[in-house]
Amino acid sequence: MIVVKNVRILGGEPADIRIDQGVIAEIGQGLSGGEEIDGGGAVALPGLVDLHTHLREPGREDAETVQTGTRSAARGGYTAVHAMANTSPVADTAGVVEQVWRLGREFGHCDVHPVGAVTVGLEGRQLAELGAMADSAARVRVFSDDGRCVDDAVLMRRALEYVKAFDGVVAQHAQEPRLTQGAQMNEGVVSGRLGLTGWPAVAEEAIIARDCLLAAHVGSRLHVCHVSTAGSVEIIRWAKSKGWDVTAEVTPHHLLLTDDLVEDSPVGAYNPIYKVNPPLRTRADVEALRAALADGTIDIVATDHAPHPVEDKETEWSAAAMGMVGLETALSVVQEAMVETGLLDWAGVAQRMSAVPARIGRLSGQGQPLEEGAPANITLYDPSARTEVDPSAFASKSRNTPYEGMTLPGRVVATFLRGRPTVLEGKLV
């Protein structure tokens, strides 16, 4: 039995939480008995849930493993992550998703829910074994070719039809491949000045519009990964106004960073640390994404944690890999972009980083409100802390963060997974 003393649930009045056998047994004041942990007035949130994490195992264990990636997740306050399918081999069979699921059970510092590929080998030609992955021990409910777009409309329609049988969802990386061939950064004023091939907003928006129409046509669930443009927000708002079952995510970096960093930043011009897919966009896009997350048009924050080894990032811009690590800075970036700006309170953060991602992934036992009888998945967060981001201190195997040297608000003090601390006093247990 553990009693966590002096925490503020969703930022409310001070309270104590008694945890017994993995469950929140009692919430009240002046609780005692068993092991006592001082919460120090931290904000208590339900354990965070990420719908979009790249754990890289199997195949790229030099970048991340299930063990290091879930350590990174726990440090960031997460109690569950969805592991993307673009591994090697691709997670497109029951065998591979069960392998990832078993690695999570054995080495995970949080729950690991494998995402299944939509198409065999992510090649966009033939549907993968969606039903077998859903029926496997991993019980896959989220399917995505993330990193690539399912651009064939017939295949996308079939995938949407197929997943209805087991209440699954197709999570689309919306990017029309012909419109983004050779793209290096956002298409706009900055790409024009730098002479880099641009990634037009319409490449994302056209696929989102098509997929919303397809999802409505077949009556299925669609989830849009990492929305990055103001136009995408308008399309999703329209789809929701029709009552269609469409959800969307935004990454922390798209809520804070803009494309002019490619030209001029604290770490110089053309620094590939800012190279990411979809690309960083404009200030107007960032403002639209923040407003959409605040009003619920965008449902959740998902990290798109994309670890890469140094040699794949510290190279010339055109050759560098796309992506950023994000698990250990997500909550701080959301505080900076959404809480400090008055757009969200802690209850709103809990919805968008725990309850709703758990619901989209159809997870039971995650994302539940902190109340008596709920599983004790709890994140304690000190919003008054200020921390200079030091990648060498990351639990992730990779260091490719765009926030190095920046001072961000807040610090994850502790994380509990079914009552067991995975992080205490900011350190892995």
| Active-site annotation, residues | 304
Q: How far apart are CA 402 and CA 305, in angstroms?
A: 12
Total number of residues that touch Zn ion (CB under 5 A): 2
Q: What is the DSSP letter of 187?
A: S
Nearer to Zn ion, 45 or 73 (CB): 73
Q: How far apart are CA 284 and CA 234, in angstroms?
A: 13
Per CB under 5 A, does 173 bind Zn ion? yes
CB-CB contact of 112 with 85 (8 Å): no
Nearer to Zn ion, 99 or 303 (CB): 303
User: In the structure encoding, which two tokens stand for residue 263, read together?
Assistant: 């030209």
Work out how close the CB of 206 gets to Zn ion at its nearest, in angstroms, rounded to a whole number: 16
Work out how close the CB of 147 gets to Zn ion at its nearest, in angstroms, rounded to a whole number: 6
Cα separations (Å) of 253 from 91, 160, 184, 186, 331?
26, 29, 17, 14, 11
Nearer to Zn ion, 146 or 299 (CB): 146
Buried b (16+ CB within 10 A) or exposed e, 118-154: bbeebebeebbbbbebbebebebbbbbbbbbbbbeee
User: In the structure encoding, which two tokens stand for residue 410, read together?
Assistant: 């807040």
Options 4-12, 138-146, 229-237, 358-366: segment touching Zn ion (CB under 5 A): 138-146
Binding site annotation covers 86? yes
CB-CB contact of 224 with 211 (8 Å): yes
Work out how close the CB of 249 gets to Zn ion at its nearest, in angstroms, rounded to a whole number: 10
Work out how close the CB of 241 gets to Zn ion at its nearest, in angstroms, rounded to a whole number: 26
- Tally: H helices and E strands in the chain: 13, 18
Per CB under 5 A, does 82 bind Zn ion? no
Among 146, 205, 259, 312, binds Zn ion (CB under 5 A): 146
Nearer to Zn ion, 247 or 422 (CB): 247
Per CB under 5 A, does 249 bind Zn ion? no
Binding site annotation covers 173? yes
For Zn ion, the binding residues in 268-297 under the rule CB under 5 A are: none
Binding site annotation covers 253? no
CB-CB contact of 328 with 71 (8 Å): no
Options 28-36, 140-148, 323-331, 380-388: segment touching Zn ion (CB under 5 A): 140-148
Contact residues for Zn ion (CB under 5 A)? 146, 173
Q: Which residues make up each annotated binding site for Zn(2+)? A: 52, 54, 146, 173, 226, 304
Q: Which residues make up each annotated binding site for substrate? A: 54-56, 86, 277, 308
